[in-house]
Amino acid sequence: MLVGSLAILVLAGFVGFTVISKVPNTLHTPLMSGTNAIHGIVLLGGLIVLGLGVDGVLNKILLVIAIAFGTINVVGGFLVTDRMLSMFKAKKPEDGGDQ
């Protein structure tokens, strides 16, 4: 069971790296925004599982760590998306005293 799980983890990492490396630079931020929205759903699932109760201390610790990393990912994604969208806003003219 452990070897199978590790094999899936390694293959998922390899496939993820291969897919992301083929994305053009101009699409990285929109792609990250979409994946962070999906990660928010995963975060909600983790909170529900933690609320329903999990057997074992190790499972609870791993779940809390996963929720913490998920929260960091979602908040960081929102900050990057906000910064990206602010680049497209028109700049306000400065009211200078030079007349």
Read off the pTM: 0.59
Question: pLDDT at position 15, please?
Answer: 92
Question: pLDDT at position 12, please?
Answer: 92
Reduced to 3 states (helix: H, G, I; strand: E, B; else coil), residue 18 is helix
Q: Which residues of the chain have pLDDT under 70?
A: 29, 93, 95-99
Question: pLDDT at position 7, please?
Answer: 93
